[in-house]
Amino acid sequence: MTNWRLISSALLNVVPLPVVGYLLGQNWLTVLLVAGFLPLADVVIGKDRSNPSRVEEARLLRNPQALRLSRLGLYAYVPVHVALIAWGAWVFAHGQLPAGQSFGLLLSVGLVTGGQGITIAHELGHSRSGMDRLLARLLLVFVGYGHFYIEHNRGHHARVATPDDPATSRLGESLYRFLPRAIIGSLASAWRLEAERLRRRRQDVINVRNQMLWLTGAPLLVAFAISTVLGAPGLLFFAGQCVVAFTLLEAVNYVEHYGLLRGRTSGGTPERVSFRHSWNASERLSNMLLFNLQRHADHHANPTRPYSTLRHREESPQLPTGYPGMLLLALVPRLWFHVMDSKVVRMRTTMANAPERKGMREVGSSIDRQPESENVKCHPSPTRSLPAAPNCVVGRN
């Protein structure tokens, strides 16, 4: 990303849109922009498939000023995140707004704390800096999803595109079936991963070094503090924006890995994670707002690569549009299956025939869900050439 794009991204992310909506008397402004303007703007503005050359990337990573500039937007948002939640709870609790506008405010704050807050926590959580990781945990605590710090780094990145990953959606699985599985599964996985870490160190699971105790307890302390100051309405607002934020996170996970599976080597282990195991989108505007999160295929192939140097990979499976538009599509399962299932099958066929995957079979194709839409009818493949994918026929039953 160029300097002007880094600065633009930083400025856009520190503007608290729910506050702007409140001052304009329209607390649904953020919802309207996210669900209406952004999907259309992505189509109009188009894609940015450009990548820095290897020389330019190396020069950027060796330039302290450029690195500081790339972190500017991340750090600048952290106080906005905390202040926005506190401000929203105060407005909500003091009953200054009609019920409809209050609900619009809650949704708007949750979309920001989930869309921007968790995205920034995700980037900071991959950093080698202890301060960055601390800020990541702080952001996640204020949306009640602290365990994501453990599950994402230690669980999701290791198990992505396998049946063991709660954040990988299955072919034929609707968003509404995926969400409870992902939310419950990620929490259970984080507890299991932390318990295993402590047992390897010959420590008791229940002790002060258990990060899950802190990451689970801290949001409860925040909730207690808000309810003490602002009462039940303040607590309702905090809990509500948490639910909106982490539901948005898991909905994005649904889009990012839908139907993709890794091969299993002759030794029985999953193949190395590559740029083929995440959906890529290079829409210029939404990537600027989401710190290149949509270049997700390269992120999984290179988890420590800073967002500013993530690369568009033409060989990766490509989404039809950016996350804002794809999330709207996912809300209507029949349309989602109609658009995406055939793409999954084509991608699986391509992967199965790749020379470097000769002799592999895909992990867990048997756990694909039967589709919940009348528009797509799938049957297990009877041929050796499609080891992973069902043969899908688009049309009515």
High-pLDDT (> 90) share of the chain, %: 72
**Residue 39 lies inside a defined structural domain of this protein:** yes
Using 50, 70 and 90 to split pLDDT, how confident is the model at 392?
A: very low
Question: Is 144 a domain residue?
Answer: yes
Confirm whether 139 is domain-assigned.
Answer: yes
Position 181 confidence tier, pLDDT thresholds 50, 70, 90: very high
- Segment 138-156 mean pLDDT: 97
Domain count, the chain: 1
- Domain encompassing residue 144: 3-369
Indicate whether 385 pLDDT > 50.
Answer: no
Q: What average pLDDT does the segment 112-132 reach?
A: 95
Q: Is 335 exposed, middle or buried (0-12, 13-18, 19+ CB in 10 A)?
A: middle
Instruction: Tell me what pLDDT residue 393 has.
Output: 31
Residue 396 lies in a domain: no
The confidence score (pLDDT) of residue 62 equals: 77
Distance CA 43, CA 56 (A): 29
Residue 391 lies in a domain: no
pLDDT digits (tens, 9 = 90+) for 315-345: 999 999 999 999 999 999 999 999 999 999 9
In percent, how much of the chain has pLDDT > 70? 85
Q: What is the pTM of this model?
A: 0.88
Is pLDDT at 378 greater than 50 in this prediction?
A: no
- On average, the pLDDT of the chain sits at 87
Rounded to an integer, the average pLDDT of 106-116 is 97
| Predicted local confidence at residue 12, as pLDDT | 64
Q: Is the pLDDT of residue 96 over 80?
A: yes
Q: What is the reported pLDDT for 383?
A: 30
For 11-69, the pLDDT digits (tens) are 666 678 999 999 999 999 999 999 999 999 999 999 999 998 788 777 777 777 767 77
Q: Is residue 279 part of a domain?
A: yes
The pLDDT of residue 350: 80
Q: Is residue 226 part of a domain?
A: yes
Assess if residue 374 is contained within a domain.
no
Residues 6+ apart with CB under 8 A from 131: none
Q: What's the rounded mean pLDDT across residues 64-83?
A: 85
Give the integer Cα–Cα distance in Å for 275 and 298: 6
pLDDT at 60: 74
pLDDT of residue 359: 53
Q: What value does the mean pLDDT take over residues 247-253? A: 98
CA-to-CA dists, residue 290 to 284, 285, 323, angstroms = 10, 9, 10
Distant-in-sequence, close-in-space partners of 175: CB < 8 Å, separation ≥ 6: 169, 251, 254, 330, 331, 333, 336
pLDDT of residue 54: 81
